[in-house]
Amino acid sequence: MILSAHNIRKRFADLDVLKGIDLEMQQGDVVAILGPSGSGKTTLLRCLNFLERADEGILTMDGADIDLHRATHREIVRVRRKTAFVFQNYNLFQNKTVLQNVTLGLTVGARMRRDEAEATALEMLRKVGMADRLKHYPSQLSGGQQQRVAIARALATKPEIIYFDEPTSALDPELIGEVLSVMRDLAVEGMTMLVVTHEMDFARNVSSSILFMDGGEVIERAPSRQFFEQPREARSQEFIRSILQR
């Protein structure tokens, strides 16, 4: 087991956003989180990576239990070293080049030597098909290209798991494919990924299982194929029907 989480709870004012989420990921799992808007998908990812502080919950990584509410700075750093996050809007540094965006976390964060960091960055930028744009700035790239740089940046830190929050939903339709294709390659290579997505093609054909959330709860977790062909829960069935109608 690469990661497990137990009873994650989060409340904003009087709104229960996560009502006791359990999650298990094995090495190489690609799990798509599906669910209606407001069901708590983003909040779940953010709590797992301490971008948001959960009210309750235990995260277990590499055999160590971490209290999501009480985690110390040191524990948070340790978790973040094993994880990476890819955001909907890429979050690249606008005043840094493509190469600098990828090396920065390595030289500053991981204290890697510059030449070593650049070699790693180059390797990852090659993987996502962006090695010919090293000196470009984000504003000189398409959204799909920026997101591929963001993925290279995530990969460069050699995480055990990558969290993606709707990585293609800010993109024009014609640019979605290039990002999904990079993610598909990563899945085939065995990268462990937890992906909030509205891309049903990805959920159906790339992810190994589906975590379906509604109202702050996990309604169903099932192998992807089974989820789409034989959803167990009434709310899952309704969700799939609503997608098919779109």
Ligand X SMILES: Nc1ncnc2c1ncn2[C@@H]1O[C@H](COP(=O)(O)OP(=O)(O)OP(=O)(O)O)[C@@H](O)[C@H]1O
Per CB under 6 A, the list member of 25, 29, 41, 149 interacting with ligand X is 41
Task: Give the position of tokens 């990805």.
Answer: 202
Considering the complex, state which of residue 156 and residue 179 has its C-beta at the smaller distance from Mg ion: 179
42 near ligand X, rule: CB under 6 A? yes
Which 149-188 residues touch ligand X, going by CB under 6 A? none
Least separation, in Å, of the C-beta of 124 and ligand X? 27
Taking CB within 5 to 8 Å according to partner kind, which of Mg ion, ligand X, none is near residue 153? Answer: none
39 near ligand X, rule: CB under 6 A? yes
Per CB under 5 A, the list member of 9, 29, 35, 42 interacting with Mg ion is 42
43 near ligand X, rule: CB under 6 A? yes
Taking CB within 5 to 8 Å according to partner kind, which of Mg ion, ligand X, none is near residue 37? Answer: ligand X
Backbone φ/ψ region at 188: left (φ over 0), alpha (ψ -120 to 50), beta:
alpha
For the purposes of burial, counting CB atoms within 10 Å of the CB of 215, is it exposed (0-12), middle (13-18) or buried (19 or more)? middle
CA distances from 92 to 36, 88, 100 (A): 28, 11, 10
Answer yes or no: are the C-beta atoms of 149 and 92 closer than 8 Å. Answer: yes
Number of residues that bind ligand X (CB under 6 A): 11
207 near ligand X, rule: CB under 6 A? no
Per CB under 6 A, the list member of 40, 57, 138, 159 interacting with ligand X is 40
Answer yes or no: are the C-beta atoms of 43 and 55 closer than 8 Å. Answer: no
Contacts of 180 (CB under 8 A, 6+ apart): 168, 199, 201, 202, 206
CA distances from 178 to 21, 173, 196, 243 (A): 32, 10, 18, 23
Considering the complex, state which of residue 26 and residue 242 has its C-beta at the smaller distance from Mg ion: 242
Using the rule CB under 6 A, give the single segment among 31-39, 121-129, 156-164, 176-184 that binds ligand X: 31-39
Least separation, in Å, of the C-beta of 163 and ligand X? 12
Which 5-24 residues touch ligand X, going by CB under 6 A? 12, 15, 17
Residues pairing with 162 in the sheet: 84, 193
CB neighbours of residue 88 within 10 Å: 16
Least separation, in Å, of the C-beta of 17 and ligand X? 4
Residues pairing with 164 in the sheet: 86, 195
Using the rule CB under 6 A, give the single segment among 35-43, 129-137, 181-189, 217-225 that binds ligand X: 35-43
Q: How far apart are CA 169 and CA 65, in angstroms?
A: 33
Taking CB within 5 to 8 Å according to partner kind, which of ligand X, Mg ion, none is near residue 38? Answer: ligand X
Least separation, in Å, of the C-beta of 150 and ligand X? 18
Binding site for Mg ion (CB under 5 A): 42
